Amino acid sequence: MSARQWLLVRVVYGSYAWTVLLAICIPLCLVLAITPRLHLRRQVARGAARLFFGTIGSPVRVEGAAADAHYPCVVVANHASYLDGIILTAALPAGFTYLVKHEMAAVPIAGFILRRLGSAFVNRDDMRHRKRTARSLVSLAVRGDALGFFPEGTFDERPGLKPFQLGAFSAATRASLPIVPIVIRGSRAKLPAHKLFAAPGPLHVRICTPLDSTRHESARELMHATRRAMLEHLDEPDLAHPPAATSRGAAAPSRARRVGDG
């Protein structure tokens, strides 16, 4: 398929996907507005997310362990697209509180949905707000709530697993909750950063073996163990540990060295 043909496919398919998303989100907002219980609202949103991906021909395929078998827990996932939050909503049980950047609260429709689903908003540029949000999330974790994080904090068009923020792992350590690493595949190709139209393509979620936070000496050690587990299933380089510089004339490696490789 030529570049021109692929662009046409992307515009047509992406327009269809936007139409489906709006057709689902508008009535979803009405249902969420009148549904009193948070858990029930989350169940409705999970059904809507599954309906969206099924309708556009990209149902989320879940592989590996079952997250609900380890509930409550702290889920951490790689971040490559604006679709990732919807993907996790479709793939995981309807009981998670997700940490979301505060800018999303002002986005029409999306901000309302996130607030009604009990999402925690954080201003990463405001240290006091970050600490206040961290304390709130730790309290939720200690109480036994399940939490969801994208520990990279952001995403762009560059493939790879970015350095992690420590917050998710500190919350898991303080609450003695297991960390459940999750790898999302396909979202970067489907809707990468700075693209308006989604492309056809499959979506996969790999739920990795949970990590017992009580068996790690510190939150930082738990964080490193989680990266290693995710990189085993993520076909992208480790951007926190780039390959060593090569000598002049030597060929650079085709991909970054994974943490823990021999």
Q: Tell whether 244 is covered by a domain.
A: no
What SS3 state is found at 164? coil
Task: Tell me whether residue 187 is in a domain.
Answer: yes
The owner of tokens 């540029």 is 125
Per-residue confidence (pLDDT) for residue 144, from 0 to 100: 75
92 in a structural domain? yes
Q: Is residue 259 part of a domain?
A: no
Length of the chain: 262
Domain CATH for 46: 3.40.1130
Identify the pLDDT of residue 247: 42
Four-CA torsion 7, 9, 14, 15, nearest 10 degrees: 100
pLDDT for 132: 83
pLDDT at 126: 75
- For residue 239, tell me if it sits in a domain: no
Q: Give this prediction's pTM.
A: 0.87
Q: Which residues span the domain enclosing 45? A: 3-231
**Is 255 a domain residue?**
no
| Any domain includes 104 | yes
Residue 76 inside a domain? The answer is yes
Question: What are the residue ranges in the chain where pLDDT is below 50?
Answer: 245-262
Number of domains in the chain: 1
Query: Over the stretch 4-22, which tens digit does the pLDDT of each residue have?
Result: 899 999 999 999 999 999 9
Write down the pLDDT at residue 251. 45
Non-local (6+) Cβ contacts of 252 within 8 A are 243, 246
What are the beta bridge partners of residue 211? 179
First to last CA, the chain: 40
Q: What pLDDT does 261 receive?
A: 40
